[in-house]
Chains A and B, each alone.
Chain A
């Protein structure tokens, strides 16, 4: 068994060697000499009788008109020139190129190309306008912020002792909250809401932190069921650390066993 295995390994190794060798052989022959590059052609052709005409094929500005502070791009293409320059303190440039300019007022750029056979010039004008005034502030009456709206109109969902089930009164409160949240979110696309879970003071602090978290999650799940986008809602539990009242009676305990909607940060 062992011997067989060894033989097999040897065979595989030999095979790999063969393949490698074959691969090498294929690369071995030298490539044929490349054809002479096209650039050498002019040497073999007779020289022209006269120098070619200096010509600016194109010179453009894009866009032609900008607001102050914005930029425009100059593009040009020149043929047969030895000396090409732009005015407006730009100076010598290549035969084909582009340049970004930031004029503060309307300005005309002139491209000058010189060569053995003469000179060609072309100009382009970039119009610069003052930026528009900022839009007027919206009238204050129209913008009750989402934050104010939430604080004023959102209703707490109340819970039984040591429970996180959504009672029927909490269902009604959350249904109204869902409508409110949809309105607020539609008006302000960056607005988020944090759902706080709270407990009364009677359970232990440790357990209440988990229970408050459960209440906040239950309220969130209910709102999401009613179509409120989940990614706009976060939860936090305050256990019994942020009571709305501190009296030792059931009325106060009930007010503290709640899920409360607050503006997100």
Chain B
């Protein structure tokens, strides 16, 4: 009995260690650029299906490269003969060496795995296939091969049929589903169903809005015709808190993301209550409120009761964020060194330490889901107000600059997959919401109307 318990415990501990290792692995790969290399052929379609293959190929490529976990090998180095079906592969024939000591020579009989795994392609994986029309529907035969295997049977990782309507939408759908299956093989977490909450002034007033992870379904949540800003979302995605002038001085309000109704929150008596943030267990909130003339960090229940002041300095302190994997660790922005810098402390206010170098201004810290990285906006190396996005491994304290534009790059926020970031950039006259990979590549614009700022990314509601 006792032995069984010990074994069970050891197994559980092992699983946890494995999971943690995996998570860390994915992020390290993102930052250092060591990823599995994949070649993705241009798929062709028979009959009417061919009309939608440009859309299909573009979507498949974008989905795979946008996930950020694969090294995409440029199509320009691919072999001229491209397989479409498994039966297009023909193993080469070994020819005995003419002289002793020479390497055995091979005679090619058609496309083979090594055409893709050898230079110049150097791929680890190959995605190929074709489409056709069956009973008025688009049918995709999609394959993923592991090129490190010796024969076709063991090389096949995916071989599957996908069905969609015979139009551009159908082509996008089957491409996305095939890409999702491929990405799943490499441990990618799906962002489907995740939501981005942000502030938009497109109605003439700053209101809280939400949209899907790809920018679709943009919809308005608040209608106060006032100033409503700084959204924060609960860990379960069911509540969005924000700061609003709807009732006079800026105060925190909370909405249910499902009913879109107000949930009670009792603000302290203060001229400013701002930058709400839920704790990782979703039971407490951190926010900043003006006490004794200075905006200070406070903690309370999610309804505002049982409030406690954490910081006690004559300085503005805002944007407190709790480490999702270590709920006693808090980072925040403080001006106590003279300028706005990134600081770290225990949730009881002890062990305060400046994380950034003291140069420039720092703003908008955001924890990666695994609690290992911080993303933030920093003006280091630029003039005042010239923010760029940085990512820092908290243990190593080495900041990596992701954006290098002279527009304002602000409000980075980690996606639930730990691989993407959402952020804002002012390019031209308006500020818009963009996503990118956590290595700074694959930048995509999500919003276009009015100014759109302060995005936060919520996981899908279960």
Contacts and interface: CB of A to CB of B under 8 A. Distances in A.
A204 B364 contact: yes
B188 to A, nearest CB: 32
Interface stretch (B39-47, B124-132, B213-221, B271-279): B271-279
Interface string A178-207: 000000000000000000000001111111
A204 B293 contact: no
B417 interface: no
A210 interface: yes
B410 A214 contact: no
A216 interface: yes
Contact of A207 (B206, B249, B363): B363
A241 B410 contact: no
Contact of A210 (B227, B248, B317, B410): B317
B274 A210 contact: yes
Interface in A204-249: 204-207, 209-211, 213-214, 216-218, 221, 234-238, 241
- Report the contact-size class of chain A (Cβ under 8 Å from the partner): 20 to 34
Contact of B361 (A204, A234, A235, A241): A204
A210 B319 CA distance: 11
A241 B250 CA distance: 12
Contacts, number: 90
A120 interface: no
Q: How large is the interface on B (under 10, 10 to 19, 20 to 34, 35 or more residues)?
A: 35 or more
Given A162-B339, A217-B271, A206 B333 contact: yes
A161 interface: yes
B260 to A, nearest CB: 24
A237 B250 CA distance: 8
Contacts of B250: 209, 236-237
A238 B248 CA distance: 11
Contacts of B410: 204
A214 B333 contact: no
B384 A213 contact: no
Contacts of A203: 340, 361, 363, 385
B342 to A, nearest CB: 11
B243 A207 contact: no
12 contacts: A204-B377, A205-B229, A205-B453, A207-B316, A207-B333, A207-B363, A209-B272, A211-B335, A214-B290, A235-B271, A241-B206, A241-B229
Interface of A: 161-162, 201-207, 209-211, 213-214, 216-218, 221, 234-238, 241
4 tightest Cβ-Cβ pairs between the two chains A and B: A202-B385, A210-B295, A204-B363, A210-B316
